[in-house]
Structure 1
């Protein structure tokens, strides 16, 4: 990185500043002009770049290049005398020539980029999958259709070998022989059947420098149907394909009566062949019109129709195309994609993202209740953190209110009008984690750090970030600050980083799962949030605050708890902390008598010890072991938590303070899914 000093902030100096301020290899240390109204000085002020009237002040040994844009011969001569021996002095005439050359270069690059983008748009608009390799067999281009069929992202596929993505690929054979291979059937790793044509890439010197393949999904039987001239031959040719397809396929004749279905159709609809063959096309429909009948009437294909079919009322997407024989519609064929589970997962993902990406802070320090020593210290530390921009580490058990503290710090800072985004690191897919946070390097897709802008990014359960993402986060934090003299100053464009963890970070460092340098950068201001069991004197204040919130949510008017009920809450150990207290109060408000304004001890008792989750009996079951009792109790807790959140696994994992991966492991262990 070359350090640059610009002398003269007029039009020439401003051009140089604009060209260099985003450079990866030149750093503008300062810009100087005697005229305080010079345009370059205003830009420097807005961008946080040092500026002033006297260049002598900034001409140090750290300066590698000096641009003299003053146009004054006396200034240039004085600079010749004073610049260090290693420093390059560039006069205004050379600098202006450099500006013209760089502008011309930028125009040329923009032209190339525009042309490349146009070609990429065309490339990605093609329905067929396309994938290419270089001489070494490494993938150097892939379009969106190929990514969808292969179920990979382009960033994942590029620069990997073709065998890593498609083990059965024959592109390397085409690369070696230099001969094209047409219409070859192939099964992708995910089970998708395709037809592929492969071609060598040959230079003007007759040298093979790569190869590419064009392939399509064989379930796109529309084109096949249009080319067949006899309905019986259509059935014969398609039977082998449709019986091996994972998608449900049905074929009807020109009257709309079923003539062929595959095993996948029977599995999805619950209808046997005898219940479909010879019956009207509407026999399997629970919601929506018959697409077969619509296609038979219009003679045109219909794609992407949402329907509900079969005994289980399953959500499906239907594609139907006519079967043309001698220019006449002789039937239609439908491909049915079961999206029931996919839709359920998409709903869970949407809900999780709503929770993860809160775009604004809604809590302040007044929402944190308690007067005990530990919580008062944490609040005081939080208020100090709100006055600075350095990273903050929030530590504490699940449910202690780390997100509440992060919100309060943001609300109390100068960034309160900017975005606040929470990211549950344990809920992000490992394969997309880096892209989610930092965006795509190749296509410019922005990530959450760009989305939050000058706001606050809250990384909850930061220990679940992969080591690669930790390294990038460390680099981001180290580049976030720059130093002017002895004063530390923010860049003015970076996001404020707040992280939280309920895990032992020191153990994670020892185990090699957490970056030590990142730990020290994040731990510059560490706030430990005490568990509820260590500050039980605060429970009355916390309860009162939660009642106000829950009354608004439930539309109730609960005023207080009986002394016995409050005592029971203070005697409980609260392994789930404030989050568990809120859930107990929620259940108690449901159990309490209609019209009552006071929660009594029985309401609290029922909420704490339900039939599904109860204390260990005084007498253990016969032949029981500690492990079996603990497994039974853990299974009951998991079942109850799933029920409370209507089967939403992301919310259940968050409620229990475990990662989504751990939850799925436990659910499989206890056969709850």
Structure 2
């Protein structure tokens, strides 16, 4: 066992610590960082791994490997000079390489496991029965079809001698002789008539290690052979099956020309036999390329390809396989699955989830939509905040989703089974707000407030920047002492309440102006989380719009299916100063003015303010793809930010709220470096 000391408990050290925990031959005996709140330090403490703030006294300890992930060259040189002779010092770059290699190893192991699982699935899915024995005649493989034909369960067969499963099996003889036997008839104890082929199993050294048999139930084949003697009847039956299939089927010859389609194909594509039969396989494609031609070129099946077909540009999933007779390519057959029903089921599922959320009056991190780097960073911070009882300050513009974050943090915390209260700090006068928060005493009678009601739960203080200095002072006392005094009372009441605050104001500016108390600010700002605006994560607009459509369909009793491409492009070009709340308002206004038969929101349904903003300065001849226009807009934003910051890249990255690494990547992408 190799003992390891990790120096640096930041993101890299934390990743190494988690990774080495899974290794049987490596053991992290300690981790060092001057910041005791670093993620690696926190994780080590929870898992009883020694933590230190200074590595120098540890060099006499029994550590075979020291890994430096501080990123500080001076620290590495000092370690190199002072480490014991027999201790290996690994710099952070090498450690990251090791992490990468180990992750690749785990990835390949996962791939092998998946392949093994797929192989077992395939073996248990095929019609043929399969049995294998070892050199002692013990059954070591027995698939589902074999179980069905022999009437012996897999559990009862594995580990038993072959004669206990099939009393007159010839597999032991095949093992002894080492000879292959093909297509031998046999009647099982269950009465099933089979045709079987037996093979000896020989390893790379030429040693026999067992034998296996592949067999097929021919009872049904014999019965059909007796009943069906006319080839015309067989052809008629096959055509009837194809014609009655709910999935669209198309067949082309070896040249890629259509020779057969069924009614389901015409229904989905809107194309008749005259428009397809004898025509190239591209005749039905509206977006994408012909999978028939690909299969004819490769002679291999292709599955699960998404394309659009027909006059209505239906979105479908295509599976195509080659038709090979006597090793000669005769054409290919394709099965088309309409995605409309699948999408409908997905929307119903989304509607059900939305209904459940409304009934629970609570939201989780699953309700925070978006895959952008900005929103994922905020979500990860919020998940971290949910795991510790720290005061959280949510910063962000109006309508950006701060309350949703507050709900999600509460739902993921250990307080989720207790109550969550929201207080709008800007909606009431000072004395009424204080009575609501702390309760009051009047004529000897005590009236409880939200601090009472939220005991062991969460209190969300929205728009905290609008609190008066007096109320700030009372809240500060409650936060520091975990106790409060009712208005008009004198008794201190202990309480356990988790505070989540939110504000769109610049609290630092208010603090400098004396409007916001400095001590209250630092009490709230233990865990600040920036909730990004919608214009900071425009790539999330499409998914958010689809989700809002499900919600509004329920509210308005409508069944709107989606947006046209041009409508989505207009939404993507708009800056949304009101964020998600404004996006919801725009979609609801568009739905109100739709006709009863309308199912799609088109560009002209959107408010004129959106359209004028989206089309401002765009000439039709200059109009590029959405990606090109977004790139051009991003380039202009970068140039403007660089100019404002006087070319200082660190300030530019900070102003744009992106990492310095991301800024350098984008500058290189647009040749602005």
TM bracket (short chain): 0.3 to 0.5
Comparing both chains, which one has the higher relative contact order based on Cα–Cα distances under 8 Å and sequence gaps of 6 or more? Answer: 1
Q: What's the TM-score once normalised by structure 2's chain length?
A: 0.35
Q: What's the TM-score once normalised by structure 1's chain length?
A: 0.35
